[in-house]
Every structure is written in structure tokens, then in C-alpha cells.
Chain A
Amino acid sequence: MPRVAASPRLERLLSLVPWVMAHTGVTVTEVCERFKITREELAADLDLLFMCGLPPFGPGDLIVAYIEGDRVVIEEADYLARPMRLTRWEAVRLLVTGRALARLEGVFEADSLQRGLEKLEAALSPEEAAAAAALAERVAVELEGTGAEPMLAELRESIADRRRLKITYYSFGRDEISEREIDPYVVFGALGNWYVSAHDHSSEEQRVFRVDRIKEMTITDETFEPPEGFDAASVARGPLFVPSSHDVEVTLDLAPAAGWVREITPHDRADPLPDGWTRMILRTPHFQWLARLVLRLGEDVRVVGPPELAERVRETAKGTLGRYGA
């Protein structure tokens, strides 16, 4: 028998009542925004509350819940006025990401995080706290170990103080090290790596840099202002690869064993072929990283086109053989 899940509506009601009672005079819009519900859902919730109370459910025993003008009113529900303890799952989710953040040493005020997590455990019943602790042992979030950690503290400082950074950056796509000046806006995690979104002064474009490929960085005295309306959340959610007019279309056929390439390479399409292989079409301004990818994959890849990519693979293979003295 599967677990009996708590009804989401009941869970919502048990926090909506204390929240509204603690925020006297709160408006319909504010409640809807906080609980991510529509006005109709709120009205239905209040109607339901109005039917609830204590036996024998006479007029004086029922919860008073209504909308007056634009204000939400809940009264006569003292027994529901205090927030219920956290469930083990509410605690587990905060615990595992909280611990992951705390392990990024020097990046967060680990003290306040640690204290917050301790108070969180006090907000569970002893049984649920034990269950949460056992679960948190079996669910882990890893933010560390990407090689980006030595850079994070300085990136944070630079973003907070809006000071320009001078970086030595290894571009994998072009296989070259370059010196750049960047105005960093936000650091974000994606696909198991850390990235920084920044204005790049050498191209005068907004670019995304992989943090572990920044070899060195210095905070300069120059200051900057982020562009108006810059939305860190949407940048962090956006694509890592921004198409440009320099892009060339490339077609690769991938063997089943090379299926992982699709998971980590931004591409336009991937279609199954009759022999079980996959045809992947992507666009890129640089061939160098692709030539290396083809070397990596060996017999698990066929370069369909363009011929210039095949030529680059041959050159890279010859150059590498030269390093072997072969």
C-alpha cells in the first residue's frame, strides 16, 4: 500500500489560518501571492473554514472566515492560530540543501546557517526529527567538489561590492587562455558546474564563464552597475549557450554508448537513426572543442558534416601524435 499522502489543501489551510491571523488586515492579493493560489481558491478555502469548528457546530462554535472589501478576516480559530510543527519532509529538504551550502566553506555565513538548521530541528516533534535525520542521511545534495570553490569567495565579494574583475580564463571552446575584464552579476550552478554571468569587456557582450576554468582573478578598483532590470533568477535558469551569427551547423552521429553527450551538449535536435545511433545537430562558433570531443568518442561517433570539422579532427590527431613522438 502506498503512503497516505497528506492532502495539499489541508496542509495549506493549516498554515493559511495562522498566517492570516498573524497578519491582521492582510489583503486578498497578498494572501493569494503568498500561498500561490487564485482568488477563487482562496474564496473556496474561506468558505470551507466557515463550515469548520468544534462540536456541536453551533453559531458560536464555527470559525469566522470571510473577505471584507479587500481584506481577509479569520477569527474564532485560536486552536489553529499557532503554526504546526514541520513535517519530516519539510525539514529534510531544508536540511540537505542547507548542509550542502554550509560545506561551501567561506562562501556563506556558516554560523547563521548552522544556527538556523539547529532551530529547524527544534521545530519538529522528536519522532519526526529522528525520521528527518535518518532521511537526511540517505538524501544528499552536493554543491562542492567542482574545482570552483577557491574562486567563489572572491566572486561573492566582487558582485556584492560591484567591483570589476580581471580574470585569466581558459576557454575550452577555443582552447586558449586569455586575460579579460568582467563585471560579474551572478554565480549559478548548472549541470554540476558553477558559472558566472558577466559583462565581458573584451567582447562588450554579456557572457557566461565556467568558474573552475578561471585560473586567476583580481578584484580591481573599477566599479560597475548591473544593467537595469537585470534578473539574476532568469539568467541562472536560461540557456548556457547563446546562439550567435558566427555559428556553424554541425551534424554528428552518436553510438548508443555515446548517449551521454546529448545530456551535456546543447543541441538543436537529436533524432534516432535506424541502426540505433542518434543524429545530433548543433550550432557552434568554434570547432576546437568539437574536434576534441570527436577524439574522445573514437569509434562511437561519425562526423557527418561539415568537412572542415573532420579536417580539424585530423589536424588535432596529427598534432597530438607529434607530442607522442609517433
Chain B
Amino acid sequence: MADKTERLLNLIALLLETRRPVSPDEIRTKIPGYGEGDVAFRRMFERDKEEIRELGLPLELLSADAWEGDEGYRIRKEAATIPELDLTADERAALLLAAQAWEGQAVPGDPDRALMKLSLAAGASEETVDAGSWFRTRVDASAPVLSALFDAIERRKRVTFRYRTGGGGEAHERSIDPYGLRHRGAWYLAGFDHDRKEIRHFKLERIDGGVDVAPGKDPDFETPVGISTEIPRGPWGEGGSEARVAFAPDAAWWVARRTGADASVVREDAWVEVALPFDDRRVFLSWILGFGEDAVVLEPEDLRAEAIERLRVATTIVAGT
């Protein structure tokens, strides 16, 4: 029996080349490799059709004969192939940079092949323009869980996986409606957590093992409109509470640049007083203490007291287990 790739390639060639729609019966007799039984043929043909659509080829089902009502298939060449396209060298270089960012093939759709197709359609040379030589960025697409998550996001299927919060501790099973993926140095999944009943973020590298996608073809949920899948950018928050913190001159400019906070209140001793919003006081205080002698919590009073208490404990630290 003919190899599956061979069968599909023959089928695509036939459907591209035909002027009139080809009926399933005709396909079965003309294309080698479909075997004998009716049931086997129908199953194989269904899968072949899906694979053709997955390749991005528009498969049309048309009435083969206006009188008899037979149905048949074809792929219109104009719809299947890339139209004439002009792609200038600088446009190509810019897209090349976008393609080069990706590393790994756990995500469907090779960006390098996409660029190859565009260059072919434009009749353009693939000469590498050195536009991106000063600059490298990397979006890692090698984690095996990405494949399942992209699939689940596209088909709106619920996923389950085991997850470790904070990168440590026991892994617990989570049941999530995946809304979106976001890459910021690492991949994060945003989705509705069915146990916590709210939108949560999950760092992919903290997923323990694989991701199970719910069975069935129909979507499991609607992605709500207008929800934010933003990941909190830092220990400073959106503004549940506000703290006033004084930073040494050496640190203040960086805090302002990183957080976007206003650093215009400069004291006589050159320290800068900054107002910073925070949501999680534990995370926020930890971040401030990480500045060591370069940061002092001024307000709120209880946060300041907690900082002093933690520093007192730290003055007694000794090495050892």
C-alpha cells in the first residue's frame, strides 16, 4: 500500500489540477492507497481532508453535477497558493528578525518556512541582510507543554496539569480554562482557575509533567471579552495599597525607570521619596529589603515596623544549618 504522504500528495495534486469537483468515489478509484473497505476509506478520507485543511489549503465541497446533485471536492489554485507579492529587502530583513526570535519546534508553524514561502512568492532572494546582527532575542518554543497549550487555547478546551506555586513545594492539580499565553523572558499561561474561581497566571516551567487537554471536539468555554491576561510586572502592584519609600540616589533613578514611578521629590540629603502601589505586602516588603541600605520604608507605619523587625532578626544571623 502506498505511503500516506504519497497518497496525500497525489490527492492534493489532483484537487489542485482538476477543473470540476471530484467526487469521493472518483477519488477512491483514482488515488492509490485507500484500500478496500468502505468504512476504511471513509475514515482515511476524513483524516486526509482534515490534514489538508491543517496545511492551510482551502478545500471546497461543491456540487459536481448541476443535474444529479453529486458532490465533489477541489482546491482552487488561486486560493491555495500565495498571490504575487512584492517583498522588499528591508521588509524581509524585519520579518527575518521576527522569525529568528523563535527557538524550538514545540509550537506548530515553522516561522522559517513561512519566510521561505513569502520569499518564493515574491521571487526574492533569500540573501541574509545583516539588519539584526546587533540584536538577539529568544522566544523559547521547545517546552513540550506548549504544543498542548496552544492547541487548547485555539480550540478553547479545558486543561489540567500539576503545578508548583513559587517554583517550589508540593505540586497540586489545577483545572484551567486557558485564555492566553504570554512570553516575558519565560512563558506564562493566563486562565480561569476552577478551584480558585478566578483568573490566575502560571509559569510554564513550574508545571510538573504534562498538560492534559479535555476530550471532545466542542469548545469547553467562551473566552471572556476584555479580560486582562497581563502578568503583574514586578513586586510593585496595580494599586491595592500605596507605600512611600525613600531611595538612595544610586538606586532611585533605576526604580523610577523600572516602575515608571515619579522620582521628582528629592530631599536635602539627595535621597528620593517615591510613592509605589503594592498589592501583596509580603512580596513588596521583600523587594524593598533587597535594596539593603539604599531603601527605607516611610509609610505605611505598619509596613515600616515590619521592615525594622525583619532587619533586627537579620542582625543575629549566623552561618550553619
Please give the residue numbers on chain A whose beta carbons come within 8 Å of chain B beta carbons, in ascending order: 1-7, 9-15, 18-19, 22, 34, 48-49, 51-57, 79-80, 82-94, 97-98, 100-101, 107-109, 112-113, 115-117, 119-120, 122-125, 127-128, 131, 135, 137-143, 145-147, 150, 155-156, 159-160, 170, 175-177, 186-193, 212-213, 215, 232-233, 236-237, 253-260, 262-263, 276, 278, 288, 291-299, 302-307, 309-310, 313-314, 316-324, 326
Contacts and interface: CB of A to CB of B under 8 A. Distances in A.
18 contacts: A3-B151, A10-B9, A12-B113, A51-B6, A79-B16, A82-B81, A85-B56, A88-B56, A90-B117, A101-B101, A112-B94, A123-B83, A125-B80, A259-B166, A262-B167, A293-B290, A317-B315, A319-B293
Contacts of A3: 54, 151, 154-155
Given A147-B257, A257-B166, A317 B314 contact: yes
Nearest to A158: B134
A182 to B, nearest CB: 14
Given A4-B51, A94-B114, A316-B293, A83 B311 contact: no
B31 interface: yes
A24 to B, nearest CB: 13
A237 B142 CA distance: 14
Contacts of A294: 314, 317
B266 interface: no
A146 B184 CA distance: 10
Contacts of B167: 259-260, 262-263
Nearest to B203: A263
B169 A276 contact: yes
A227 B263 CA distance: 41
B317 A314 contact: yes
Tell me which of A34, A87, A175 has the highest count of chain B C-beta atoms within 10 A of its own C-beta. Answer: A87
B2 interface: yes
Closest 9 pairs between A and B when the two form their complex, measured CB to CB: A192-B185, A259-B168, A89-B109, A259-B167, A256-B169, A90-B114, A317-B314, A256-B168, A87-B56
B291 A292 contact: yes
Contacts, number: 399
Contacts of B199: none
Contact of B77 (A34, A79, A131): A79
B12 to A, nearest CB: 8
B227 to A, nearest CB: 11
Nearest to B133: A232
Interface string B75-99: 0010111110111101111110111
B312 interface: yes
Contacts of A4: 47, 50-51, 54
A316 B289 CA distance: 10
A259 B166 CA distance: 6
Nearest to A253: B321
A19 B120 contact: yes
Nearest to B154: A135
Given A98-B98, A140-B182, A323-B293, 7 more contacts: A12-B113, A94-B99, A122-B83, A139-B153, A141-B182, A190-B185, A314-B314
Given A93-B111, A189-B136, A5 B257 contact: no
A204 B140 CA distance: 33
Interface string B32-50: 1000000000000001001
Interface in B92-142: 92-95, 97-99, 101-102, 107-111, 113-118, 120-121, 123, 126, 133-139, 141
A115 B83 contact: no
B319 A189 contact: no
Given A6-B54, A123-B85, A310-B319, A237 B314 contact: no
Contact of A138 (B114, B153, B289, B308): B153
Contacts of A318: 315
A320 B295 CA distance: 8
A326 B297 CA distance: 12
A232 B94 contact: no
B9 A52 contact: yes
Among A49, A156, A292, A305, chain B packs the most CB atoms within 10 A around the CB of A292
B207 interface: no
A8 B268 CA distance: 67
B150 interface: yes
Interface centre among B9, B13, B296 (most CB of A within 10 A): B9
Contacts of A146: 258
Given A1-B215, A192-B185, A317-B315, A177 B250 contact: yes
B19 to A, nearest CB: 12
Contacts of B253: 215
B307 interface: yes
Nearest to A215: B253
B221 interface: no
A293 B314 CA distance: 12
Contacts of B287: 296
B95 A258 contact: no
Contact of B118 (A10, A120, A137): A120
A15 B116 contact: yes
A119 B91 contact: yes
A149 B315 CA distance: 38
A9 B82 CA distance: 20
B95 A295 contact: no
B30 A55 contact: yes
A321 B117 contact: no
B111 A296 contact: no
A146 B250 CA distance: 18
A11 B107 contact: no
Contact of A259 (B50, B88, B151, B169): B169
Contacts of B13: 52-54, 79-80
A211 to B, nearest CB: 11
